[in-house]
Amino acid sequence: MSVDPHFQRVALIGFGLIGGSIARAAKLQGLAGEIVTTARSEKTRARVLELGIVDKVVATNAEAVKDADLVILCIPVGACGPVAQEIAAHLKPGAVISDVGSVKGAVVKDMAPHLPKNVHFVPAHPVAGTEHSGPDSGFAELFINRWCILTPPEGTDAEATAHLRAFWAAMGAKVEVMTPDHHDLVLAITSHLPHLIAYTIVGTADELAQVTESEVIKFSAGGFRDFTRIAASDPTMWRDVFLANKDAVLEMLGTFTEDLAKLTRAIRRGDGEALFDHFTRTRAIRRGIVEIGQDSAAADFGRQHGQLDKKQS
């Protein structure tokens, strides 16, 4: 049986890349009767109003969640606990409370104790994004054919989880449910460690005395250029991710360091076979990912649901 993805009043706490993308996709697909968002600065409130995507922009989180049927925290993970505390007394009984944080264990631990018993807490993580942030960076197609992982605590109302699942699916996402700990371990290797490596290598290149700034830019057409994109991601967001997912990141970093040492040894010893075998294995992994055909599937969704061909401004 299909579940109605619609929520009457949706409150988005934070209107950056993810909040702005949810607002655009939900509006386009008619998933909300009304969308309210918080923007803390006068400048951002004016810009969000100018964009004309949401129905109401307010200055405080407490005001935004009033009478909301779905509340989504679209803010750095370190801010989720304090914001849960701030909004708790103002939540509508029966509302679904969610987030989009890149780490789940810490967010659940920080938010859950503050939330009243009469709301449904269904944490979420859309595994989709870019290096950009702020109110102008969002776009309606961001979630198409991307995973959205839900991590409802044990005992969560199944109907609430199904309702949020339908909401994400209607924005184009493929939805999966897992535990917060499993999520954090998987994301540590697939997302958090790659960002740490990018932040490291771009910093290292910058510090090398013999590589002048102009040479880094001049020769950055190679692999380095891809790293600079990732390393341009929001500092506040990523500081919070590494602090919140410390254990899993350190565990993966340990394994990564061992594997790096193996490749270092192969280079030192001139062991071409070891290098070739390793690179052959990793090439097959990339080909496997590309064969899943995310781009063509995204285009199919756009055609079926209309109006998603153009990037929203």
Ligand X SMILES: NC(=O)C1=CN([C@@H]2O[C@H](COP(=O)(O)OP(=O)(O)OC[C@H]3O[C@@H](n4cnc5c(N)ncnc54)[C@H](O)[C@@H]3O)[C@@H](O)[C@H]2O)C=CC1
Q: Under the rule (CB under 6 A), what is the footprint of ligand X?
A: 13-19, 38, 40, 61, 74-77, 79, 83, 100-102, 126, 129-130, 133-134, 234, 237, 241
Query: Using CB under 6 A as the criterion, what x/- string covers residues 217-236 for binding ligand ENO?
Result: -------------x------
Contacted by 161, from ligand X, ligand ENO, none: CB < 5 to 8 Å by type: none
Which lies closer to ligand X via its Cβ, residue 130 or residue 179? 130
Contacted by 191, from ligand X, ligand ENO, none: CB < 5 to 8 Å by type: ligand ENO
Instruction: Give residues with Cβ within 8 angstroms of 140, minimum separation 6.
Output: 21, 24, 25, 27, 28, 171, 308, 312
Query: How do strand 120-121 and strand 124-126 relate by DSSP bridges?
Result: unpaired
Count CB-CB contacts under 10 A for residue 287.
Answer: 9
One residue of 131, 181, 247, 271 binding ligand ENO per CB under 6 A:
131
Distance CA(69)–CA(60), nearest Å, equals 17
φ, ψ of residue 41 to 5 degrees: the values are: -95, 150
One residue of 130, 137, 179, 220 binding ligand ENO per CB under 6 A:
130
> What would the two tokens of residue 147 be?
């995973």
* 191 lies in the site for ligand ENO, by CB under 6 A: yes
Between 180-187 and 246-269, two packed helices, what is the crossing angle to 10 degrees? 30
Count CB-CB contacts under 10 A for residue 90.
Answer: 17
Contacted by 134, from ligand X, ligand ENO, none: CB < 5 to 8 Å by type: ligand X
For residue 101, the SS3 value is coil
Contacted by 302, from ligand ENO, ligand X, none: CB < 5 to 8 Å by type: none
Contacted by 77, from ligand ENO, ligand X, none: CB < 5 to 8 Å by type: ligand X
The DSSP element (H or E) to which 36 belongs, if any, is strand 32-38
Contact 32, 166 (CB under 8 A): no
Q: CB 90 → ligand X: shortest distance, Å?
A: 13
Which lies closer to ligand ENO via its Cβ, residue 97 or residue 107? 107
Distance CA(297)–CA(305), nearest Å, equals 12
Amino acid at 234: D
Which lies closer to ligand ENO via its Cβ, residue 86 or residue 131? 131
Q: CB 17 → ligand X: shortest distance, Å?
A: 4
Which lies closer to ligand ENO via its Cβ, residue 78 or residue 129? 129
Residue ranges in contact with ligand ENO by CB under 6 A: 102, 127-131, 191, 230
